[in-house]
Structures are given as structure tokens and as C-alpha cells.
Amino acid sequence: MPLGRFGIVSLEFILNRGPFPVDGGNSVINAIDWDWEEPARSSGGVTFRLLVDMASMDGSQAIHATGQSGHPYHPNYADMIEMWQNGGYHQVFFSREAVLENSIEHLILTSPENAGD
């Protein structure tokens, strides 16, 4: 059972977004579950899509329905829903150079013995 559907209404309100109308099917990259009795109603689907450019990894694209953050009160928790819903993607960087060039913030982890370096 998904975390956002376990009977605690206050948590479901915090975690869940939607419902949202979506396109898709069971044999396409935008995979959506549906039922013959209610074909216009989706019952689940893929929240993360990744298109990998094997010729140039930095040309790859992805989308995650909930956004960049997994924290419900963070501004980036649900910021990609509309892009996901409309079949959009954002560029994904794999090479160190591309990641550093396109980063907004950096988190540097150090061990206690190197904390002063």
C-alpha cells in the first residue's frame, strides 16, 4: 500500500497531490494502469520516466512526478507534477563537468578528521 494511502487522513492530506488527468496506456513510456470497466479512470502509473541518450549521457532527460524533493513541505516537493502530467522532461547530467556547471548548490561531506580542510 502506498505511503499516502494508509488511512491516516492528516498524513494523506500532507503527502498526496491530485488527482490529475493524464494520458497514457499500458504499452507506452507513459505507462498508466486502467480498468476495462472504467477505461477513462487511471488507477496508477509510472511516476519516474528516464530517457537515456547513450551517445551523449548528458543529453539524457527525466521527469519525476513529485518533484526534486521528497519532503512534503519543501518548495520542490510537487514542482514537477505539471511537467510530468504534460509529458515534459528536464535534462539530466551525468558527467562531473556538466553536473558542476549546472548545479545551483553544492553539499560537501567531510569526515571529522578532515573538517578543517
Residues forming a β-bridge with 25: 31
C-alpha to C-alpha distance for 3 and 62, rounded to whole angstroms: 23
Confidence (pLDDT) at 6: 63
**pTM surpassing 0.95?**
no
Q: Which residues lie below 8 Å from residue 113, measured CB to CB, with a gap of 6+? A: none
The residue written with cell numbers 494520458 in the block is 23
Q: Binning pLDDT at 50, 70 and 90, where does residue 24 land?
A: confident
Confidence (pLDDT) at 92: 94
Q: Binning pLDDT at 50, 70 and 90, where does residue 116 land?
A: low
Asked if pLDDT for residue 115 goes beyond 70, the answer is: no
Confidence (pLDDT) at 33: 82
pLDDT tens-place string over residues 51-108: 999 999 999 999 988 777 778 888 888 888 889 888 899 999 999 999 999 998 888 8
